[in-house]
Structure 1
């Protein structure tokens, strides 16, 4: 057997298997074998969730003035310790 005969036999077998799969799965369109790079395309029969669920805007969380002051004080304390360690290391 040469290469072209082998390839044609493989293609014929693939065609038979795709027909059997479409019959068993009740698909009218055979399934694509090769997939390209990137995100898969949307299926037209998929339900649209965006149309049924209303859009709710997320609420941003804020920080109180006391919270900011506590964080600033803690950071200044860390800097003071680091500065003291740097002076003693020299």
Structure 2
């Protein structure tokens, strides 16, 4: 067996034991399944908004990148 695989298995067992200890001590709420806990909000308002770029902004970025690539090509050919 590889040492890294053994270490990963040991870490997994430690995590399980720590979770069991926390449950027995009563310090962690029990989750019944995957997903968000009940009462959590999953609305579009809480999602991050996408940024919109104007046509002029896209053009400025495009021109700057073309200039940067041209400069790099010039440096590479020297």
TM-score, normalisation: structure 2 = 0.43
Q: State the structure with bigger RCO (CA 8 A, min sep 6), 1 or 2.
A: 1
TM-score, normalisation: structure 1 = 0.39
Instruction: Tell me which protein shows more helix as a share of its residues.
Output: 2
Larger Rg: 1
